[in-house]
Structures are given as C-alpha cells and as structure tokens.
C-alpha cells in the first residue's frame, strides 16, 4: 500500500469507468466515458486524470476489461480497443499495473458485498468455503468463479464461459437456436444472454412468428416487454430470463458452486422486479437428477452499481 491514490478502470464494450482509490482502499465516484471517443485506454485515462486537478498522481493501477487476458496484448472482444499492457503502464507512469478480466474483478468483490448490495432470488444458505459462481449479461456475457485456496484466501478465475454453446430445453428454444444458427456460425450463450443478445433473441422470435422486428435496441425491447405493450418483446424477455437460468445452473454444476451464484452485469438491475418474478430460478434448478443438488444453492442479483470497482480496489491496495 502507498500513500498516493491508485487508478482503477472498468472497461466494457461501450463505456469505460475510471476512479481513484484512496490509500485506505475506498474507491471514489466513477467517471463514465465513451470508449469510442478515445484511441485506447491510455488516452482515456489521461483525459480522466486531466480533470482531477492537483494532488499526487497514481503510481499503481488496475484495469478490468471485457476480454480474455492471455498475455501482454489485450484485444477487447466487443470494442475496437487493442493495447499493450506494458505500453499503457509506461505511458501512464505507473510502477505497478494489473489488467484482469472484468468478471474476475466482479468475482473478487462478491464476498465483500453488503446485504443491500444484492437481492436474493431463492435457495438456502451458502455453504462455507465452497466455490462461488459469478456471471452476468452486459455488452457481453461475463463469467467467473471464486474458489478457496488452502491458506484461507480466495482465487478468482479468469474464464470465458460466456462463449459456451447455448443449449435449448424446449421446442420453442430449439426453433430460436436453429434460426440464429443461420446467422451465426456458433450460437454461444453471449449471442442471446447480453444486451445485443436480447436483440438477436427478439429478432428470432419475430421472424418465427412472421412479424416485423420493429425494435432495434435492448432498451426498447426490455421496456416494451416490461410494460406488456409488445407480446414478442415480453416473450423474448421471458426466454432471456429462463435461458440465463439454464446457463447459471450449468455453471453452478460445473464449478460446484455451493457457495452461491451471483448474477451481475449492467442489464438486469434495471429490471430487478421482473427478473425476480421470472422463470430464472425454476430453470436454474431444472437439472433432472441434480435438482436436489441445486435447490439449496442461493442465487443473488448484484445491485451494487460498481462491483468490479470493489474488486479492483482490493487488488491495488493489497
């Protein structure tokens, strides 16, 4: 830990959020900037820091990115940004600089969430010292997990589970996936369970009913689905929630997430009531012989506005 603030950023496909973390580990209010307005994260960070004014400049930094981290070069999955971690560190004058997957950062935060930072969606009590699953739709579909180590700490996994193959559980979903396979070479979970994925889902549902796809944004589709003014939008939302339950249940089984499953991301907190009343939890548990295994596992919707910042703050002040 140092006596100067640290720089953190949460980089998505559309926006980047910057904040400074005080030496005692408390992140400040985030500043939201459009990725498309800057050539890369170094330029955006410099623009952000230029608005801060006087005071000590950061010597440590940590960025969360919506992309796999496999080496020095980062190529964001849903953004035009492409950068070298070392080059950004040098350009920003940082002594230490970490770049991690955005849902790795969210996973690092979940054990520190207060009760009013999350909404329980069913299940019993979390098993102590058991793996925890984290996933959530935004511009893409983020997936991670938190697993205990032998020293009493926790390890956040860098995973790309949003790109697993989406499976169906009924005839209607069969038809939707068959229609989407004509458009995409691979229908991943992210092709449906994300902001753009909701649009894909709506367009498939409209085409299968021989109706025009009138709406082109996830906000328009979700709003008309929530208020009931468009039957196709409503049915698309219902399928979105249920298929997220399928993927969440798959993830819980895959990592043995008896410590709970956290649903984060930017899409669902804006429609938390509809999500809580949806078929998500029923579909989560609908795993045949392993329904009894999944039924006690608690699921939560993360409603904290910036959970990734909590994980990053802990990383830069460790």
In a domain, 115, yes or no: no
102 lies in the same domain as 205: no
pLDDT in tens, 218-269: 999 999 999 999 999 999 999 999 999 999 999 999 999 999 999 998 899 9
216 lies in the same domain as 89: no
User: How many structural domains are present in the chain?
Assistant: 2
In a domain, 118, yes or no: no
In a domain, 177, yes or no: yes
pLDDT of the residue at 56: 67
73 lies in the same domain as 168: no
- Residues 192 and 179: their CA atoms lie apart, in Å, by 12
Per-residue pLDDT band for 97 (boundaries 50, 70, 90) equals very high
**Full domain range(s) for residue 163:** 123-297
211 neighbors 193 (Cβ within 8 angstroms): no
Please name the residues in contact with 14: beta carbons below 8 A apart, sequence gap of 6 or more: 34, 35, 36, 78, 79, 139
129 lies in the same domain as 99: no
pLDDT of the residue at 250: 98
More confident residue, 177 or 28: 177
pLDDT in tens, 141-162: 999 999 999 888 899 998 889 9
pLDDT of the residue at 206: 98
Joined together, the tokens standing for residue 92 give 């920003």
Centre a 10 Å sphere on the Cβ of residue 27 and count the other Cβ atoms it contains: 21
Beta bridge partners, 62, equal: 8, 98
296 neighbors 124 (Cβ within 8 angstroms): yes
pLDDT in tens, 48-73: 999 886 666 899 999 999 888 889 99
Burial of 274 (0-12, 13-18, 19+ CB in 10 A): middle
Up-side HSE of residue 170: CA atoms within 13 Å toward CB? Answer: 7
97 lies in the same domain as 150: no
83 lies in the same domain as 163: no
* Helix, strand, coil distribution of the chain in percent, nearest 5: 40, 20, 40
In a domain, 112, yes or no: no
User: Position of tokens 């991943």?
Assistant: 188
285 neighbors 249 (Cβ within 8 angstroms): yes
Report the pLDDT averaged over residues 162-173.
96
The enclosing H or E element of 74 equals strand 73-75
User: Position of tokens 């998505």?
Assistant: 12
Please name the residues in contact with 220: beta carbons below 8 A apart, sequence gap of 6 or more: none
Judged against a pLDDT cut of 80, whether residue 81 lies above it is answered with yes
292 lies in the same domain as 312: no
Prediction pTM value: 0.89
103 lies in the same domain as 131: no
283 lies in the same domain as 148: yes
pLDDT of the residue at 10: 92
17 lies in the same domain as 142: no
pLDDT of the residue at 184: 96
pLDDT in tens, 119-139: 999 999 999 999 999 999 988
214 lies in the same domain as 311: no
Report the pLDDT averaged over residues 215-220.
96
Per-residue pLDDT band for 2 (boundaries 50, 70, 90) equals low
**Spatial CA neighbour of 121 closest among 247, 235, 275:** 275
If you average pLDDT over every residue of the chain, what do you get?
93
Judged against a pLDDT cut of 80, whether residue 78 lies above it is answered with no
pLDDT of the residue at 152: 86
CATH number at residue 195: 3.40.367.20
159 lies in the same domain as 228: yes
pLDDT in tens, 172-197: 999 999 999 999 989 999 999 999 99
């Amino acid at each position: 830990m140092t006596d100067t603030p640290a720089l953190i950023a949460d980089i998505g496909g559309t926006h980047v959020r910057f904040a400074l973390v005080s030496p005692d580990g408390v992140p400040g209010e985030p500043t939201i900037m459009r990725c498309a307005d800057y050539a890369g994260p170094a330029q955006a960070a410099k623009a952000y820091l230029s608005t801060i004014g006087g005071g000590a400049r950061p010597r440590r930094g940590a960025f969360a990115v919506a992309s796999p981290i496999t080496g020095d070069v980062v190529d964001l999955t849903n953004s035009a940004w492409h950068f070298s971690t070392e080059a950004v560190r040098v350009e920003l004058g940082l002594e230490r600089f970490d770049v991690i997957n955005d849902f790795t950062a969210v996973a690092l935060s979940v054990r520190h969430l207060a009760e009013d930072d999350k909404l329980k969606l069913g299940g019993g009590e979390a098993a102590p010292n058991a793996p925890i699953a984290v996933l959530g739709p935004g511009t893409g579909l983020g997936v991670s997990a938190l697993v205990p180590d032998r020293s009493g700490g926790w390890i956040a996994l860098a995973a790309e589970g949003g790109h697993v193959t989406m499976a169906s559980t009924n005839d209607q979903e069969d038809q939707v996936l068959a229609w989407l396979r004509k458009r995409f070479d691979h229908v991943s979970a992210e092709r449906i369970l994300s902001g753009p994925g909701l649009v894909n889902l709506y367009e498939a549902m409209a085409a299968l009913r021989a109706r025009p796809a009138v709406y082109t944004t996830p906000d328009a589709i979700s709003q008309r689905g929530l208020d009931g003014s468009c039957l196709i939008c409503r049915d698309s939302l219902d399928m979105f929630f249920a298929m997220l339950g399928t993927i969440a249940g798959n993830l819980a089984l895959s990592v043995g997430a008896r410590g709970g499953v956290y649903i984060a991301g930017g899409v669902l907190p804006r429609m938390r009531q509809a999500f809580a009343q949806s078929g998500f939890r029923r579909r989560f548990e609908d795993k045949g012989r392993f329904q009894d295994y999944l039924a006690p596992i608690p699921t939560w919707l993360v409603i904290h506005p910036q959970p990734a910042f909590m994980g990053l703050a802990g990383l830069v002040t460790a």
